[in-house]
Amino acid sequence: MNKIVKRLLSTALIGALTLGMCACSTKSNSLTVEDGKLIMATNAFFPPYEYHDDNDAITGIDVEIAQAVADKLGLELVIEDVEFDSIIAGVQSGKYDIGCAGMTVTEDRLKSVNFSTPYATGIQSVIVADDSAITDIDTLLSGDYIVGVQSGTTGDIYMSASAEDGGVGEDRVDRYSKGNDAVVALMSGKVDAVVIDNQPAQAFVAANDGLKILDTPYAQEDYAMAVNKDNEELLDKINAALAELQSDGTIDSIINKYIPAQS
pTM over 0.85: no
* Residues paired with residue 166 on neighbouring β-strands, in sequence order: none
Strands 58-59 and 50-52, by their bridges, are antiparallel
- Give mean pLDDT, residues 9-23: 42
- pLDDT band of residue 107 (cuts 50, 70, 90) is confident
For residues 28 and 157, state if they share a domain: no
For residues 110 and 233, state if they share a domain: yes
For residues 152 and 205, state if they share a domain: yes
- pLDDT band of residue 138 (cuts 50, 70, 90) is very high
Q: pLDDT tens for residues 211-220?
A: 999 987 777 7
Say what the pLDDT of residue 92 is. Answer: 97
For residues 249 and 230, state if they share a domain: yes
Strands 147-150 and 173-176, by their bridges, are parallel
The CATH number covering residue 64 comes to 3.40.190.10
For residues 114 and 131, state if they share a domain: no
Residue 104 DSSP label:
B
Q: SS3 for 74?
A: coil
Percent of the chain with pLDDT over 70: 87
For residues 232 and 208, state if they share a domain: no
**Are 127 and 135 contacting, i.e. CB atoms less than 8 angstroms apart?**
no
**Domain around 240:** 2-119+224-258
